[in-house]
Amino acid sequence: MQASRLALLLLVALVPGAALAQSAAAPPDLDCSEGFDGLRSMAASLPDARAGDDGSSDIVVLEAPDTWKVEYSFTRPGQAAHPSVTLRTFLKQVTGVWTAQSKGCGYGDQRQFAALMADMKERDSDLTNASRAEVERKKQDASPLGTP
């Protein structure tokens, strides 16, 4: 009986710590109420954030390797949907498949922003399907005995 009480106490003591560690490891999110410039400043100030550009937009990338990756993208003046901010989140599922999910904040022409988001959602689906196909290909190539 005393051993089961000890096990229960240990479990109660460990669960909050595990939940706290899990929430600390969650990818950042997008809060449109911060505005275009506020989101740009917030993303740039995140620990371990890497700034760059993808040829058409300014980006900020942050990741927890083999768990998640986020890409903030900020349109530039002259782009159809400017000003807008998008956040593409890549999450590794327990199956090994990486899923892509996008969110966005449009502060200009809403039709152009809707078109931008539709393109992103389509690309999210393509990226997720490509990852799923790669995982399936690796499963088929794996030896049934678990050896290469």
Cα separation, 77 vs 84, whole angstroms = 10
19 within some domain: no
107 within some domain: yes
What are the tens digits of pLDDT across the range 22-32? 334 789 999 99
Strand order of the β-sheet with 58-64 is 50-53, 58-64, 68-74, 84-92, 98-106
Q: How many domains does the chain have?
A: 1
131 within some domain: yes
- Counts of helices then strands in the chain (DSSP H, E): 3, 5
> What is the pLDDT at residue 54?
87
119 within some domain: yes
pTM of this structure: 0.77
Cα separation, 107 vs 77, whole angstroms = 12
4 within some domain: no
Name the residue range of residue 51's domain.
Answer: 33-141
Strands 58-64 and 68-74: antiparallel
16 within some domain: no
**Alpha helix stretches (DSSP H) within 46-147:** 110-141
Task: Give me the percent of the chain exceeding a pLDDT of 90.
Answer: 72
SS3 103: strand
What are the tens digits of pLDDT across the range 76-89? 999 989 999 999 99
